[in-house]
Amino acid sequence: MEQAVARHKRVRIIGKLTPYLFISPWIVGLLLFTIGPLVFSLVMSFFDWPVTSAPKFVGLENYTKMFTNDPQFYKSLAITLKFAVLYVPLSLITSLILAMLISQPVKGVKIFRTIFYLPAVVSGVAVSIIWGWIFNSKYGILNYALSLLGIEGPKWLIDPASAIVTIVIASAWGVGTMMLIFYTNIKGISPDLYESAAIDGAGSIRQFTSITLPLITPTLFFNLITSTISALQQLTLVLLLTNGGPLKSTYFYGLFVYNNAFKHHKLGYASANAWFMFIIILLLTALIFKSSSAWVFYENEVKHERKRGGKKK
């Protein structure tokens, strides 16, 4: 007993330093590669920097221009939020359904697993070309196929109303990564849990809501945060596929920042744009984090209050 107490003490002293040692690679990396550029971009947001010549201090001008004198800023913000609202739930649900499907013990599931994962592997250049062909209104593959069925397809990328939907369809194609994350989590759930639930007479839906769903909340939380971030920063696809059109209906915030930086060469302004989005994402993340204690269950925080049926000791 005494020995144990002594050990505990020693552990506590080392324990003070140990966690920092574990995270030290990240701290070093942060200081080496991240902090500098981050601070630099913040400082630049108070400058007028046309890239090709020296920056000039302008105080808050970039920010006041953004909020009071640039209608595109609000438009892009609105479009991006609309996209996020459409895309985040859709991708979460789709990837979760897919992950459930590929965890089913049916024949050939391995092949499907690979098929669903495949799109995430294909490089963006080819993907954007293919989507461009598929959705071309006049000479596109999809509308041709529809015309064979006697349907006149929509003007996908020409009509502003359908363009954002098209982007959502095309982005949802790459949910393989999220699916895989869910899948890894689902596969980590002990089969015993399901077996005892089945003995208790729980059906598949019941098993999903009472076992699977609570146990994957940590990755659901992860996917929610990361897909929110990526939806709000979506750039590649619109850059390659629509370039913001038609009629600026897909002029996402990410594209707005990118064009300000590399088309209009206003790097200071672009930095201000980026930092504003940074704050929004940070607040959103904080909000999700705050809410997480109510719906995310971590095994090492559960301790003994919440006993699950059939849990092994």
Choose between 86 and 308: whose C-beta lies nearer to other proteins. 308
Q: Which of 71, 105, 150, 201 binds other proteins (CB under 8 A)?
A: 105
Task: Report the site for other proteins in 278-297 (rule: CB under 8 A).
Answer: 278, 281-282, 285-286, 289
Q: Give the x/- contact pattern for other proteins in 232-251, rule: CB under 8 A.
A: -x-x---------xxxx---
Rounded Cα distance between 122 and 176, Å, is 11
258 touches other proteins (CB under 8 A) = yes
Rounded Cα distance between 204 and 211, Å, is 10
Task: Give me the least distance between CB of 278 and other proteins, in Å please.
Answer: 5
Longest dimension (CA), the chain: 85
Q: Which of 75, 90, 117, 310 binds other proteins (CB under 8 A)?
A: 117
What is the token pair recorded at 75? 């438009």
DSSP state of 307: P
What is the token pair recorded at 51? 């890239």
Cβ atoms 256, 273 nearer than 8 A: yes
Rounded Cα distance between 254 and 232, Å, is 7
By rule CB under 8 A, what count of residues binds other proteins?
Answer: 129
Task: Give me the least distance between CB of 99 and other proteins, in Å please.
Answer: 11
Task: Give me the least distance between CB of 271 and other proteins, in Å please.
Answer: 5
Q: Give the x/- contact pattern for other proteins in 61-90, rule: CB under 8 A.
A: ------------------------------
303 touches other proteins (CB under 8 A) = yes
Instruction: Give the burial class of 68: count Cβ atoms within 10 A of its Cβ; 0-12 exposed, 13-18 middle, 19 or more buried.
Output: exposed
Rounded Cα distance between 69 and 139, Å, is 40
165 touches other proteins (CB under 8 A) = no
Task: Give me the least distance between CB of 182 and other proteins, in Å please.
Answer: 11
